[in-house]
Amino acid sequence: MTATMANILDGNKIAAQIRSEVAEQVRALAAAGHLPGLAVILAGEDQASAIYVRSKIKACQEVGIHSEKITAPASVTTQELLAEVARLNQRDDIDGILVQLPLPAQVDSQHVLLAVDPEKDVDGFHPVNVGKLATQRPTLAPCTPAGVMEILLRNHIAIAGRRAVVVGRSQVVGRPMALMLLNHDATVTICHSKTRDLPDITRQADILVVAVGQAGLVRESWVKPGATVIDVGINRVTDQAKFEELFAGDAAREKTFAEKGSVVAGDVHPRVAEVAGAITPVPGGVGPLTIAMLLENTVKACRMRRGRR
């Protein structure tokens, strides 16, 4: 068997489709006098956060969404950020508010996130939106698991009646992912760091979603032959031994590692592609969908706020 046997689920292709659809919706809303607007709050000097925010603003510009970046110094207080969120909540031209994490250490992040109007919570993290997701009401859902659902649905992968296993229970991916799969009639098991006999459970999965932040955790022996494997992990591998364990013989990755001293790896070992029926690559799988779904949520927030469902 070779690693080319699994069907590669191309996230870049699906993200491009979604962006095109969003751009069309933005044009229609703008023609009706409702240009969708997104505000992103960036506090402090975290370089990775600055890069993420730039990419989000750029993506908004490409599809015609009005976007604003609100910056705050590393010394910002919780009260100052709460005041900024309150101002954005009141602005009718802003449909989505995104607070880029992490916030500076002295800021009460949960207090700030809870202050965002649930109707403008394009991250889908507010308890009101989590509750709506759990009770199958229209809502703004977390972007990464929503992107995973798009990968499954647009590749016509059967969900109803299938056994789905989610490895990871974070509020950002694992828990909402399980709810979305359950809402599509899968039989869902959630695994985490305290789960016993993890490989025995993952081997039962028709759909396996892995989001734990541990490079190459899931091996080929953990996966049912023919299963659909969704790798949400994005890990930077800098250790030579770990690199060789994951990518020995991969000439392109060896070249990158030699030049940069690191490569990006998922939570799923590359050899799982020899067993799976379909698999998302890292990079180029789930990652591109996260920003695409942020754009989708901004448009959705605009439509829902203005009664244009």
Can you say how many angstroms the Cα of residue 162 is from the centroid of all Cα atoms in its chain? 22
Q: Cβ neighbours of residue 236 under 8 Å, at least 6 residues apart?
A: 262, 263, 264, 265
* Amino acid, res. 62: E
Cβ atoms within 10 Å, residue 151? 22
User: Does the annotation mark 231 as catalytic?
Assistant: no
- Catalytic residue, from 25, 56, 121, 231: name it: 56
Q: Which of 112, 30, 96 is nearest to 63 (CA)?
A: 30
Q: Which of 213, 214, 124, 128 is nearest to 176 (CA)?
A: 124
- Catalytic residue, from 95, 117, 121, 123: name it: 123
CA-based max dimension of the chain? 59
* Amino acid, res. 63: V
- Residue 7: φ, ψ to 5°: -70, 125
User: Does the annotation mark 100 as catalytic?
Assistant: yes
- Catalytic residue, from 25, 100, 121, 231: name it: 100
Residues in the chain: 309
User: Does the annotation mark 123 as catalytic?
Assistant: yes
List active site positions.
Answer: 56, 100, 123
